[in-house]
A and B are shown apart, each in its own frame.
Chain A
Amino acid sequence: MQKQEPLLSVRELSVAFKMRDCVLTAVDGVSFDLDRSQRLGLVGESGAGKSVTGFAIINLVSRPGYISGGQVFFEGRDLATFSEEEMRNIRGNRISMIFQDPMMTLNPVLTIGQQMIETLKAHRHISKHEAEKLALSKLQKVAIPSPEKRLTQYPHEFSGGMRQRIVIAIALLTSPSLIIADEPTTALDVTIQADIMELLLKLCEEEEMALLLITHDLAVVSQVAERIAVMYAGRIAELGSTEAIVNTPQHPYTQGLLKALPQKVERRKRLNQIPGNMPSLQERPPGCAFYDRCELRGEICHREIPRLEEKNGGLVACHMVKDAAGKEEK
Chain B
Amino acid sequence: MSDFIEIKNLVKRFDISGGLLEEIRFKGGIHRKKTVVHALNGVSFGIKKGETVSVVGESGCGKSTLARCVIRIYRPESGEVLYNGTRVDNLSSSAIKPWRAKMQMVFQDPYASLNPRMTVYQTLLEPIRFHFPNVSRSEADDRVATVMKQVGVDPDWRKRYPHEFSGGQRQRISLARALAVKPEFIIADEPIAALDVSIQAQILNLFMDLQEEQGLTYLFISHDLSVVEHISNRVVVMYLGSLCEFAGTEQLYTDPKHPYTRALLSAIPRFGSEGFNHLRLPGDVPTPINLPTGCVFHGRCPHADERCRREVPALITAADGRVVACHGVEEGRLEWL
Contact = CB atoms under 8 A, between A and B. Distances in A.
A272 B201 contact: yes
B82 interface: no
Interface string B198-234: 1111101100110000000000000101110111010
Interface residues on A, range: 35 or more
Interface centre among A189, A246, A247 (most CB of B within 10 A): A189
Interface SS of chain A: helix, strand, loop or mixed? helix
A258 B264 CA distance: 24
Interface string A233-263: 0000000001000110000000011101111
A268 to B, nearest CB: 7
A263 B276 contact: no
B204 A271 contact: yes
A91 B61 CA distance: 38
B168 A277 contact: yes
Contacts of B274: 222-223, 242
B281 A191 contact: yes
A197 interface: yes
B269 A217 contact: yes
A281 interface: no
Contact of A258 (B205, B249, B271): B271
Given A190-B58, A201-B276, A223-B269, A262 B227 contact: yes
A257 B198 contact: yes
Interface of A: 45-46, 159, 161-162, 189-195, 197-198, 201, 216-220, 222-223, 242, 246-247, 256-258, 260-263, 265, 267-268, 270-275, 277-278
B280 interface: yes
Interface residues of B, number: 43
B222 to A, nearest CB: 11
B223 A189 contact: yes
Given A45-B197, A190-B268, A271-B230, 19 more contacts: A189-B58, A189-B59, A190-B225, A190-B267, A191-B263, A191-B278, A193-B269, A194-B267, A194-B278, A197-B276, A198-B276, A217-B269, A218-B197, A218-B271, A242-B274, A263-B230, A270-B205, A273-B205, A275-B202
B117 interface: no
Contacts of A162: 284
A166 to B, nearest CB: 14
Given A216-B197, A262-B227, A273-B202, A194 B269 contact: yes
B267 A263 contact: no
B276 A262 contact: no
Nearest to A270: B205
Nearest to B233: A268
Interface string B274-299: 11101011001100000000000000
Contacts of A220: 269
B250 interface: yes
B202 to A, nearest CB: 5
Contacts of A45: 196-199
